[in-house]
């Protein structure tokens, strides 16, 4: 675990913050004042570490029912927060699975920013030319299909109802990966588009999915399940697919249960069910589940309740995580975790689907989907490829 906390704001370099959820009016006038890196091997509770580190640097989210005030003219603005899928599994006492293929990337990152009125720093020198090599998948289509079949066998035994299976690919590169990763935010539908980086690593996100946010005093999650090509026929097929609707409703029920653990009794509701929205050239089904936070609910308890996200694990969550750990050939790295912003007055974390990461001389990308009894292995392999295709194309840039 590493911590960094310079004391003199005026001595720090100004940065343009690209983390999802950062206040738009502040992004060009911030300085980094403190940073926490933690990995699963360090021990401890990452959710508690994050809450205590934030509080020590002026962002007290120990009671989410009592928001603070964001002053854009002085003081602390907020913090970028990233929590990996492995860290989420760790907090549940479940195996995080195979080692990450991007070991330089921490499992928890918190970066605190303060406002500054100093002139902007000069632009960095032009990066070396960007070149991306061929992608190498961590499993073959046949191995991916076999994992789908194994989940169907587990469903037949009554072990699980649904398991999300994720594949990984890596490509060598030369040049600075950060500008390439930053391009992901421009993909249509990338509600949580942005980047985060540190020594020897960087990640770029194009996620459309809300893992957890606080909106108008309510906890909100927007699970996405169900995918079709963004054509009129694809939209009709998604809306009428019994398989996709069943898969989706299982996850909505799981999210209702997750929120109920930290909500006022009787306050959980489904505000919108199976709305079809577009991400790049795909239609996806999204629902909105919300709840009133329990009295005294803090950030740590909320993270423990919702991480890792239900839409990228399965149902029941603990059993699904055990199957994920057994079936996926490499760890999920930067994918299927949480990334967003925590401020005195706001909390908005996206789920890191459609996310790539750089580590050393390799660029990494993950994609997958939820498996139910009605899943066709070949179709699931094709769906994962369709989700990865726009990101691969943009990174090749």
Residues of the chain with pLDDT under 70: 4-15, 118-124
Q: Which position has the token pair 């992608």?
A: 135
Contacts of 295 (CB under 8 A, 6+ apart): 65, 264
**CATH architecture of the domain with residue range 131-170+216-333+350-396:** 4-Layer Sandwich (3.60)
Contacts of 151 (CB under 8 A, 6+ apart): 160, 163, 165, 323, 327, 371, 375
pLDDT at residue number 8 = 42
pLDDT at residue number 11 = 42
Pairing of strands 201-207, 210-215: unpaired
Question: What is the C-alpha to C-alpha distance for residues 306 and 309, in angstroms, rounded to an integer?
Answer: 6
pLDDT at residue number 125 = 75
Q: Which of 10, 32, 225, 286 is catalytic?
A: 225
> Of 335, 342, 230, 225, nearest to 286 (Cα)?
225
pLDDT at residue number 123 = 67
- CA-angle at 83, arms to 79 and 86, nearest 5°: 170
Phi and psi of 385, rounded to 5°?
Answer: -65, -40
Q: How many CA atoms lie within 13 A of 12 on its CB side?
A: 21
Tokens matching residue 28: 């060009």
What ranges do the domains of the chain cover? Answer: 131-170+216-333+350-396
Please tell me what DSSP assigns to residue 250.
Answer: H
Report residue 141 CA to chain centroid gap.
25
247 is an active site residue:
no
Question: What is the C-alpha to C-alpha distance for residues 168 and 368, in angstroms, rounded to an integer?
Answer: 9
Q: Which of 32, 209, 247, 255 is catalytic?
A: 209
225 is an active site residue:
yes
pLDDT at residue number 309 = 97
Quickly list H helices, 261-312.
Answer: 299-306
pLDDT at residue number 2 = 74
């Amino acid at each position: 675990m590493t911590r960094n906390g310079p004391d003199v704001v005026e001595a720090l370099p100004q940065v343009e913050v690209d983390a999802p959820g950062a206040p738009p009016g502040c992004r060009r006038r911030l300085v980094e004042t403190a940073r926490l890196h933690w990995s699963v091997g360090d021990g401890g509770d990452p959710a508690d570490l994050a809450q205590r580190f934030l509080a020590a640097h002026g962002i007290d989210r120990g009671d989410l029912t009592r928001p603070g005030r964001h002053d854009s003219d002085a003081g602390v603005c907020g913090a970028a927060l990233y929590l990996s899928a492995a860290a989420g599994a760790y907090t549940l006492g479940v195996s995080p699975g195979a080692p990450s293929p991007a070991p330089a990337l921490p499992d928890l990152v918190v970066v605190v920013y303060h406002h500054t009125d100093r002139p902007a720093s000069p632009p960095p020198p032009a990066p070396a030319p960007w070149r991306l090599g061929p992608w190498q998948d961590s499993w073959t289509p046949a191995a991916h299909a076999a994992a789908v079949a194994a989940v169907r066998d587990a469903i037949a035994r009554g072990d699980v109802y649904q398991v999300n299976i994720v594949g990984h690919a890596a490509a060598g590169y030369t040049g600075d990966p950060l500008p390439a990763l930053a391009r992901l935010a421009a993909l249509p539908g990338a509600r949580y588009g942005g980047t985060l980086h540190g020594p020897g690593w960087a990640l770029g996100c194009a996620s459309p999915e809300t893992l957890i946010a606080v909106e108008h005093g309510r906890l909100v999650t927007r699970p996405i399940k169900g995918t079709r090509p963004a054509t009129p026929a694809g939209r009709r097929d998604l809306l009428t697919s019994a398989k996709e609707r069943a898969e989706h409703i299982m996850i909505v029920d799981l999210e209702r249960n997750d929120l109920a653990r930290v909500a006022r009794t009787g306050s959980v509701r489904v505000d919108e069910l199976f709305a079809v929205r577009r991400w790049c050239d795909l239609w996806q089904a999204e629902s909105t589940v919300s709840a009133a936070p329990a009295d005294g609910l803090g950030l740590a308890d909320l993270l423990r309740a919702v991480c890792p996200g239900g839409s990228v694990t399965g149902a029941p969550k603990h059993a699904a995580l055990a199957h994920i750990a057994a079936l996926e050939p490499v760890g999920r790295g930067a994918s299927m975790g949480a990334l967003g912003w925590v401020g005195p007055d706001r909390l908005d974390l996206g789920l890191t689907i459609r996310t790539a990461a750089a580590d050393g001389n390799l660029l990494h990308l993950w994609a997958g989907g939820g498996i139910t009894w009605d899943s066709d292995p070949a179709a699931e392999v094709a769906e994962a490829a369709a989700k990865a295709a726009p990101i691969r194309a943009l990174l090749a840039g």
